Structure 1
Amino acid sequence: MNATMRRAVIATAAVTMALSMAACGKAGGDKKDAAASGDSKSIGLLLPENASSARYESFDRPFIEAKVKELCADCKVLYNNAEGSAAKQKQQFDTLIAQGVKVIVLDAFDATSTESWVKEAAAKGVKVVAYDRLATGPVAGYVSFDNEKVGELQGQALLDSLGGKAADANIVMINGDESDPNAGQFKAGAHKVLDGKVKKVVYEQSGEWKPTVAGQKIGAAITQLGKDGFQAVYSANDGMAAAIITQLKGAGITVPVGGQDAGLDAIQRIVNGDQAYTIYKAYRPLADSAAELAVDLLQGKDVKSVASSSIDSATDKGIPAKLLDPKVVTKANIKDTVVADGLYKASDICTADYAAACAAAGLK
């Protein structure tokens, strides 16, 4: 082959290679290039913690991932857990934006701190779905339960557990973290029902969503009020209720204690008679709604097919929202709620330690 022919072959090969690379770029492309162009099919998912509640890893995350996959086969969910740190969640949020995601489902650890994050994201064309608690800032949608109704159900369930003794009962309240807007709504709802129906709320503190803190607070209440100084305890969630019940047992006190989240250990405590009730917020419809909203935003669809109502936050008004209805779970309706919905099997609840209690409750 002479020099002229060699040059022709090399030139042809170079053109062929360039066309091939261009075709590959259109078909799949380098991840960095996709991020830079904003042509991303990735949805960010940021959940707040995994210490006080097992729900996020056991239910929210897998349900959201599965629904996104069902709705958009080639979409990916980029997941991170803040592990109880607002600063860590901010880093995770910034990383998602740098990776080119166009939608972030955010369950904010500190919902009051997110306004600047969400504004910066919106300026870059990134939509934020507030999940479970209403983040501040111009979020594109919100999916949660009616949180004041949750508190009302908690308060009513506590009254029901006291029965005819309610009017003469002193109540201890261990609320959630004061920086969490949900906690304020739970508290408001509970007070709406309890105030005027019980003798008095004699001790009220924030447990900060931390079982250790809740345990310390109920210990302080026992010291301050004495063993007979209160007749029931409102706990904002099940993780704190577990610590409260442990402290009460250690002090030889038996009073109704309620919670929220319908964790498996809480259901077992209810079966065993240690916990009076929990609030069941069905995770699958919550997660499915968030996934539907996120995919609709990613695909440029109207979110009102999912978010049929609206809600105001501390910073913005008229946020498209979907609010689901919670349910009270007591020993009497475990079979008709968490078992009927497939959240748990009776065999999950009725392990060896709870076999006798399950039999007495009619769970098999």
Structure 2
Amino acid sequence: MSKIYNWAVLGCGRIANKFVNDLKLLPNAKLYAAAARDLGRAKDFANELGFEKAYGSYSEMAEDPNVDVVYIATPHSHHFEHTMLCLKNKKAVLCEKAFAMNSNEVRQMISYAKENNTFLMEAFWTMFQPSFKKALEIVNSGELGKLKMVRSDFAFNAEFNEEKRLYNVKLGGGSLLDIGIYPVFAALSALGVPDLIKSSADFSTTGSEESINIIFKYKDGEMASLSSSFAVHSPIQTEYCCEHGYVVLHPRWFTPTDITVWKEGEEQQLFKNETKEGAGYQYEAMHVMECLDAGWTESPKMTFEMSLNLMETLDRIRIDAGIFFPDHDKNMFF
């Protein structure tokens, strides 16, 4: 029987609410503590979702000896600070993407987790979706021939508010780190790190990047065409185009979804979404507890290498597109 783990949530926003509702589906997850910068907000969140305790201080929560694992759901501008706080208190950490603001921060987070022998994983929930895993399985099997092209997008028309996270540079605003990270992940997962990156961005009046188009090029001829935006709506799907067929992850492709597979000379096959309950966050939480049960401090699926490759690739895209975060990039070679 798996151990019952006391979960804490650091940051009581919308994404945390979704995650916690899926966490309730897991019998070995106990809703123990919710922490926010404001105690009233933490109490409201805890009461609504059923947590035992509420903290108006992240430090107090991290110092609670009964907390086993912390889900960090603050803006990515604060992920480094909050992850390091939890790791210093020997708390297992599942930190939302983007894992941090740049690869320097990610390297320090990983290094400290290793030194402190404490579990750390980026909460890239798509990695654990049955539909995404199925799509990669088909592509990697070779049954459709060699993968030659990836097309992936994520865009929606967001309300402009210069103070809120999406457009606020001090909070890591911009579509790339918020939603463009998904298409980049789709390409990296199937093709690996690109040899050449070309990107073009359009900026809002706050200086944040609002829309971006990205091309990956590989030495053997493979390519990826990726895009994200807060200014338009897009299909939000991913296509893996192979020599003898293709795999399409249907709209909102990074969630539990349907898959279409076509092979030359055959009829299309539709693989229906098999997730019957929850939004899909339960899969990554389940994996974290499996890792803790096994005594691992690194996920064998969402590895440190994958998170570092992802952030280093995002850094390369930002350099090419001219996207900068002055509060975080001062030690980077931009």
Report the TM-score, using the length of structure 2 for normalisation: 0.39
More strand as a share of residues: 2
Going by fraction, where is helix more abundant, 1 or 2?
1
Structure with higher Rg: it is 1
Q: Normalising to structure 1: TM-score of the pair?
A: 0.36
